[in-house]
Amino acid sequence: MTGKVPAPGASVVKVAVIAAAAAAIEWYDFFIYGTAAALVFPAQFFPVDLPPLVAQIAAFSTFAVGFIVRPLGGVVFGHLGDVFGRKRALSGALLLMGLATTGIGLLPGYAQVGVAAPLALVALRFAQGLAVGGQWGGAALMAIESAPSGRRGFYGSFVQIGVPVGLVLANVVFLLVGKSLAPQAFLAWGWRLPFLLSVVLVLIGGYVRRHLEEPGEFETVGATVAGAVQGPPLARVLRDHLGDVLLAGGAFVANNTCFYMAITYVVAYGTATLGIAKETLLAAVMLASALMLPVLIICGGVSDKFGRRGIFMIGAVLAGLWAFALFPLIETASPVLITLAITVEMLFLSLMYGPQAALFAELFPVEVRYSGASLGYQVGSVVGGGFAPIIATALFARFHSTVPISVYLGAMCAVSFLSVLALGRRARAG
């Protein structure tokens, strides 16, 4: 290990801001896929004679691939981050995401190459999932392990704001491209532009590798312990911390399920079933995401003072209750009520997501922290977000009502509430 220990003060802010920027661009890449899966991919990468509902489920299935592989990304990059350093693993994940997303923007459609098109799409989505599975742990630990012990929630929340920032960027780009082009041109080639712009992520990955130093906590503790003969980090996590991993995954399912329901399924349901203009839905998602930014940071800071568990559990209860108001408000087709529905849900989710990075990091010792925190986070992402749009689509097709979808969201919130109830007692003092 050759990195220097970051100086306190301004250098900690620099690490947090750069980690947030890297997370934002990486999540931009991940989210533009979800938007395209709802609006474009059914027609571009699948046979034109498929029924619309079947094509939509097929497109959402490729979306789910990115979630299924995320635990593998957490394992691979977690090992690299625990053994070779946080910044190397993070820069590698950013590079992989940038290349995979650019590749999607260059793919020919089903009309040009037939079945090879969806197969190639799945392969590149696999690479996206692998990358995002490793990115969160690296960005979070770069910020948290560089922070003073009493400010981990605050600095960890900087990485969490990468999600809404990335989502806003993805929707802004799609809206601008959609407004600038005729519908036929957008479907023919315009949708590719947001994917091609992600090449900038390769440059950010290079910057992280060359200009950031390893966090001080990892340099002083992790590097020494990781070099000892104690087995691979993953083996140690599964042997000594499996309960923490599973409870962390359970804690994350509500946030991830409700979030992807609000930003992906609602867009598809609103446009295809209710006939609402996609611009109305995307604008509501953007405003809600922008309002998340200060709330996430505030919640992270509050958790430093009052603890992670309580604010997390309040968020789970409120999000579960609001799930029963979400769809009735969307179904009014009123832009104001649609925006209210999505915004309130996002703000309740911020109560959970703001302190989450610090909570998960504090569950594991430094030498296996990247592997443990990443695995817990990504297990929750598979159970939660990966299958949420598919489950919602199937529930609506079966019952012709959104009430079962709301029950499903409420159940996921109950799982997270109970998981955090147990997990909070096991968390190390921050």
Tell me the pLDDT tens digit for each residue of 259-268: 989 887 898 8
What pLDDT score does 6 carry? 42
Which amino acid, residue 153? G
User: Residue 423 domain-assigned?
Assistant: yes
The answer on pLDDT for 327 being more than 80 is yes
Measured distance CA(227)–CA(232) in Å, rounded: 10
Measured distance CA(344)–CA(407) in Å, rounded: 18
What pLDDT score does 147 carry? 85
181 Rama sector, left if φ>0, alpha if ψ -120 to 50, beta otherwise: beta
> Six-digit token pair at 103?
């590749």
* Mean pLDDT, all residues of the chain: 85
User: Residue 8 domain-assigned?
Assistant: no
User: Residue 99 domain-assigned?
Assistant: yes
CA 363 to chain centre: 20
CA 424 to chain centre: 22
The answer on pLDDT for 9 being more than 50 is no
Number of structural domains in the chain: 1
| Range 157-163 average pLDDT | 90
Measured distance CA(21)–CA(139) in Å, rounded: 9
Higher pLDDT, 337 or 184: 337
Measured distance CA(184)–CA(200) in Å, rounded: 27
**Residue 115 neighbours by CB under 8 Å, 6+ apart:** none
Measured distance CA(233)–CA(291) in Å, rounded: 38
| Residue 264 · residue 389 · CB < 8 Å | yes
Q: What is the pTM of this model?
A: 0.82
Give residue 373's domain range.
14-211+233-427
What pLDDT score does 260 carry? 85
Measured distance CA(93)–CA(135) in Å, rounded: 6
The answer on pLDDT for 382 being more than 60 is yes
| Range 354-375 average pLDDT | 91
Q: What is the pLDDT of residues 193-251, one digit of tens each?
A: 988 888 877 777 777 777 777 777 777 665 555 545 467 888 899 898 999 999 999 99
Query: Any idea which of 77-91, 220-234, 413-427 has the lowest mean pLDDT?
Result: 220-234
Q: What is the pLDDT of residues 52-63, one digit of tens each?
A: 778 777 887 887
If residue 294 lies in a helix (H) or strand (E), which one and from where to where? helix 278-306
User: Residue 228 domain-assigned?
Assistant: no
Counting residues of the chain whose pLDDT is more than 70, the rounded percentage is 93
DSSP output for 234-270: HHHHHHHSHHHHHHHHHHHHHHHHHHHIIIIIHHHHH
User: Residue 3 domain-assigned?
Assistant: no
Q: Please, where are the H alpha helices in 145-221?
A: 152-160, 162-180, 183-185, 192-196, 200-211, 216-217
What pLDDT score does 284 carry? 92
Measured distance CA(404)–CA(396) in Å, rounded: 8
The answer on pLDDT for 429 being more than 70 is no
User: Residue 7 domain-assigned?
Assistant: no
What pLDDT score does 3 carry? 42
Q: By C-alpha distance, which of 310, 241, 210 is closest to 3? A: 210
User: Residue 216 domain-assigned?
Assistant: no
Q: What is the pLDDT of residues 390-402, one digit of tens each?
A: 889 899 999 999 9
Q: Any idea what the CATH number is for the domain that residue 355 is in?
A: 1.20.1250.20
User: Residue 221 domain-assigned?
Assistant: no
